[in-house]
């Protein structure tokens, strides 16, 4: 297997007739999926999603792919292909369209409907081009064929990309549920046909590559939910992804069978399920759905609340319910079901919510104590089937952390793919397909782009470090006024601290040392305020480290008078 190295240089010009693949997200992480294909001077993008922040990224709302690589080539983009409607595949599209609004957006009916609703919030009128499985469409140099795949959202597609440099099959997110709720299975016949035609590069979902066997069928969730509903005496709150149509369908069916009414909670949940119902992907039994404002008119044992927040998102409905900051309340006798798997990095946030709900007296049912969720990704056994069916010349694992990519690559090798034909790449690592062989050609800068409120890209790693210091160590500010002619201290130094957790008497110890250091530094009339601020920072920093064993942020202010 060929591995990326930290010493990779910028790639050279693309060889005539070759195909270049540049992942800008989704390789080395679960989320932020985006891949750029370049051929004969034109670009095709597959997916454009977001990554959700972790605890060490305070204040960040979303993380985008780094568009710098293509920012000056927007006119070369033929289309953006969207494999399905999850946020980690479509969430960054509004931000990319700020650079060019008329890029064709290609995807299935439900995918584009979810995206269109999102773009309305950004006041963008998109160029939508709906496709379905079995169709072929040409965009510039790229001949695309769309293949049905089964996932945890309806209408997911794999895409075969034919070029004069070779053919690529990108699975998107998929699994091989043989009894899906909507009857739409992964089209292995199309995979086999494409394999017979010849797949030069197979780009395969890696999320469950470490999981042996086969992913459990969605139908197995139904009886478990039915059992939970049977035993529940009070309100039932079900938390899921706002786009998980299948899970919402199962909750609606279970509620209908047990004489309960369902209220959708959370703006994205209401928006997405309204779209899914209008398009026929969600079938709502008569009289089951009610407005959340009417739940207090019903007995608790007749209420089900379907909400967002299964990943511990702080502003989502479930988190606010756990913090008693929502009109919906839970308590003893109520049951909360977390109908989703844990995305890596969200564990602490989810466990905090579980503990908070249990503290309120609710019973919490989650993946660790009941089968209330199954993954939407193919496990190792399913991936082996795909490799044996497609028989690709080269393999490039996608969508997953490093451990997932490596495990997926090992599966490919076990089916007979030569190790040197398995390319393990991370975000920014450039892969060229030349004369039937994929190889690493270099790397391009590919950092995180943070969305913080209305700011996009304004937050840097240095600023995040400052936020972490403020949150973990606190800060100390010192104010002093010096005479501009004599250099003598006119006022101060005055010290203020926040988040340091020490008494004022303790902090007052440093004032004489700061005074002494300033007096020595200003001897002879030196009133360079920048230098004096550095003197204060060194003195206070040394004192805080030795006496308090802390490294707070130190903000010295020196003013001339």
Contact 52, 313 (CB under 8 A): yes
The reported pLDDT for the residue numbered 557 is: 80
Q: Please tell me the distance from the alpha carbon of residue 542 to that of residue 547, in angstroms, as a whole number.
A: 8
What is residue 368's predicted lDDT score, i.e. its pLDDT?
A: 74
Q: Taking 60 as the threshold, does the pLDDT of residue 157 lie above it? A: yes
- State the pLDDT confidence band at 101, using cuts at 50, 70 and 90: very high
DSSP 221-282: HHHHHHHHHHH--S-EEEE--TT-HHHHHHHHHHHHHTT-EEEEESHHHHHHHHHHHHTTSS
Residues 18-30 have a mean pLDDT of 93
Q: Is 25 labelled as part of a ligand binding site? A: no
- What pLDDT does 513 receive? 78
425: which 2 tokens? 């790449």
Residue bearing the bigger pLDDT, 181 or 135: 135
Q: Is 86 known as a binding-site position?
A: no
Sorted by where each begins, the domain ranges of the chain are 19-213+375-452, 218-365, 461-560
The pLDDT score that the predictor gives to residue 321 is 82
Burial class (CB in 10 A: 0-12, 13-18, 19+), 15: middle
Which overall architecture, per CATH, does domain 461-560 show?
A: Roll (3.10)
Residue 132 labelled as part of a binding site: no
- Mean pLDDT lowest among 179-188, 364-373, 410-419: 364-373
Mean pLDDT taken over the chain: 86
Which candidate, 3, 405, 422, places its Cα nearest to that of 207?
A: 405
Q: What average pLDDT score do residues 14-38 get?
A: 93
Is the omega angle on the peptide bond into residue 493 within 30 degrees of 0, that is, cis? yes
**CATH fold label, 218-365:** Rossmann fold (3.40.50)
pLDDT band at 3 (very low <50, low <70, confident <90, very high): very low
In whole angstroms, what is the distance from residue 263 CA to residue 292 CA? Answer: 5
Q: What is the mean pLDDT of residues 467-496?
A: 71
pLDDT value of residue 293: 86
Token digits of residue 510: 């440093």
Q: Which CATH topology does 19-213+375-452 take?
A: Metallo-beta-lactamase; Chain A (3.60.15)
- The answer to whether the predicted template modeling score (pTM) of the entire model surpasses 0.75 is yes
Q: Are residues 32 and 92 in contact, defined by beta-carbon separation less than 8 angstroms?
A: yes
For 363, the 3-state DSSP assignment is strand
Please write the tens of the pLDDT for every residue from 308-333: 876 766 667 788 888 787 888 888 98
- Please give the backbone phi and psi of residue 311, each rounded to the nearest 5 degrees, phi first: -105, 10
Q: What pLDDT, on a 0 to 100 scale, did the predictor assign at position 136?
A: 97
Q: Which residue has the higher pLDDT, 168 or 465?
A: 168
Summarize the confidence of residues 344-348 as an average pLDDT. Answer: 66
How far apart are the C-alpha atoms of 559 and 527, rounded to whole Å? 9
* Closest CA relative to residue 21, chosen from 403, 444, 406, 410: 444
More confident residue, 508 or 220: 220
pLDDT of residue 525: 61
- If you average pLDDT over residues 240-256, what whole number do you get? 89
Distance CA 117, CA 77 (A): 23
Q: What is the pLDDT of residue 80?
A: 98
Instruction: Please tell me which residue, 531 or 11, carries the higher pLDDT value.
Output: 11
Higher per-residue confidence, 338 vs 519:
338
- Segment among 1-5, 20-24, 433-437 with least mean pLDDT: 1-5
333 is in an annotated binding site: no
Average pLDDT value for residue range 406-433: 96
3-state secondary structure of 109: helix
Proportion of the chain above pLDDT 70, given as a percent: 88
Of 444, 448, 407, give the one whose Cα is nearest residue 424: 407
Q: Which stretches of 342-423 are assigned E, i.e. beta strand?
A: 363-365, 395-398
Whole-angstrom Cα distance, residue 343 to residue 350?
10
DSSP state of 293: G
């Amino acid at each position: 297997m060929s591995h990326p190295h930290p010493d990779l240089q910028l790639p050279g010009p693309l060889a005539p007739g070759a195909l270049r693949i540049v992942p800008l997200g989704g390789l080395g992480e679960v989320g932020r999926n985006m891949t750029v294909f370049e051929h004969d001077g034109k670009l095709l993008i597959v997916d454009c999603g977001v990554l959700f922040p972790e605890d060490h990224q305070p204040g960040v709302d979303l993380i985008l792919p780094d568009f710098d690589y293509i920012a000056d080539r927007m006119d070369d983009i033929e289309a953006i292909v969207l494999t399905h409607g999850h946020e980690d595949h479509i969430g960054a599209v509004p931000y990319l369209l700020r650079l060019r609004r008329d890029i064709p957006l290609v995807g299935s009916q439900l995918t584009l409907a979810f995206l269109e609703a999102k773009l309305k919030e950004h006041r963008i009128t998109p160029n939508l081009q709906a496709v379905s499985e079995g169709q072929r469409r040409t965009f510039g140099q790229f001949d695309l064929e769309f293949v049905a795949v089964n996932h945890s959202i309806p209408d997911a597609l794999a895409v075969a990309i034919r070029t004069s440099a070779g053919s690529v099959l990108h699975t998107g997110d998929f699994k091989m549920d043989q009894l899906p709720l909507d009857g739409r299975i992964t089209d292995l016949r199309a995979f086999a046909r494409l394999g017979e035609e010849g797949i030069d590069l197979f780009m395969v979902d890696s999320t469950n590559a470490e999981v042996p066997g086969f992913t459990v069928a969605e139908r197995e969730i139904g009886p478990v939910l039915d059992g939970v509903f049977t035993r529940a005496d009070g309100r039932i709150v079900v938390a899921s992804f706002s786009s998980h149509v299948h899970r919402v369908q199962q909750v609606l069916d279970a509620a209908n069978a047990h004489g309960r009414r369902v209220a959708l909670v959370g703006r994205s949940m209401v928006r997405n399920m309204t779209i899914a119902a209008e398009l026929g992907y969600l079938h709502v039994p008569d009289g089951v759905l009610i407005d959340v404002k009417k739940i207090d008119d019903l007995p608790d044992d007749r209420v089900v609340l379907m909400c967002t927040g299964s990943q511990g998102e702080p502003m989502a409905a479930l988190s606010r319910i756990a913090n008693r900051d929502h009109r919906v309340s839970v308590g003893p006798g109520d049951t909360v079901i977390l109908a989703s798997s844990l995305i890596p990095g969200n564990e602490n946030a989810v466990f905090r919510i579980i503990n908070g709900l249990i503290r309120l007296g609710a019973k919490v049912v989650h993946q660790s104590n009941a089968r209330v969720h199954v993954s939407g990704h193919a496990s190792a056994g399913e991936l082996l089937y795909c490799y044996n069916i497609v028989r690709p010349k080269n393999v490039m694992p996608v969508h997953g952390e490093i451990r997932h990519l490596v495990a997926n690559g090992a599966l490919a090798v076990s089916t007979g793919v030569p190790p040197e034909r398995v390319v393990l790449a991370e975000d920014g690592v450039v892969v060229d397909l030349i004369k039937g062989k994929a190889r690493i050609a270099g790397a391009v800068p590919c950092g995180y782009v943070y969305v913080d409120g209305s700011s996009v890209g304004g937050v840097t790693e240095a600023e995040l470090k400052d936020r972490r210091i403020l949150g973990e160590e606190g800060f100390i500010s010192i104010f002093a006024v010096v005479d501009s002619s004599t250099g003598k201290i006119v006022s101060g130094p005055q010290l203020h601290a926040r988040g340091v957790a020490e008494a004022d008497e303790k902090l007052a110890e440093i004032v004489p040392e700061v005074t002494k250091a300033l007096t020595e530094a200003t001897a002879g009339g030196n009133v360079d305020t920048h230098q004096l601020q550095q003197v204060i920072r060194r003195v206070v920093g040394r004192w805080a480290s030795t006496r308090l064993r802390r490294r707070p942020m130190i903000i010295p202010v020196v003013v001339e008078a």
